[in-house]
Each structure stands twice: as structure tokens, then as C-alpha cells.
Amino acid sequence: MQVTPSSATVPPGENVTLQCTAEGSPTVSSIEWSRVDGSPLPSHSVSVDGTLYLFSVSSAAAGAYDCTATNTLGTTITQTQITVLGQQREK
């Protein structure tokens, strides 16, 4: 399984694309994105076919994200980190 980029540092207002690809036998049945801390994905985001699009990021988007790939044999999780320049993460 691969997540690109493995980390991203961006200024506020930029768009970020996180791509997760997984191959396996049996075939991967689902790829899902979540936040490591359990909080919901940012409101200005969408996940399509293993790719997470974050639009006009703010400090609320900063943090660690998990990509979870699942097939009938189990689950694999890979992590990536987003840093938003010049801002502290909102609580």
C-alpha cells in the first residue's frame, strides 16, 4: 500500500491531494480515509476512489490522516501528515 505524499506542508488556502493506492490478492474491496485523532474529515474535503481532496486548507486540516485498505483477509493502514504553515491547529 502506498500513500502519496507521505507528508505535506502547505500555506493556508491551498488545495491538497492525498492519494492512496493498494493492491492485494484477494482484491482490495475498500479504501477509506480518516483522521488519526478520530475527528471528522475537514468540511471542505471529498474522498473519491482512494484519493482525498482537501480544498482551501486551514489550520483545522492540519494533522495525521490514515488510509485504510480492506480485503477479505484483513486491513492495512498507512499514515500521512499535513502541516499548514503559519497557523496552530484549531481545537
**pLDDT digits 0-9 by tens, 48-65:** 999 999 999 999 999 999
Produce one character per residue of 4-40: b if its CB has 16 or more CB atoms within 10 Å, e if not.
eeeebebeeeeebebbbbbeeeeebeebebbeeeeee
Query: What number of other Cβ atoms are within 10 A of residue 3's Cβ?
Result: 22
Rounded mean pLDDT of the chain? 90
Single-letter amino acid, residue 59? S
For the cut 70, the answer to whether the pLDDT of residue 89 exceeds it is: no
- What are the beta bridge partners of residue 64? 81
Predicted confidence band of residue 2 (pLDDT cuts 50, 70, 90): confident
- What values do phi and psi take at 37, rounded to 5? -80, 0
Higher pLDDT among residues 71 and 2, named by residue: 71
What is residue 75's predicted lDDT score, i.e. its pLDDT? 92
For the cut 90, the answer to whether the pLDDT of residue 16 exceeds it is: yes
CATH no. for 2-84: 2.60.40.10
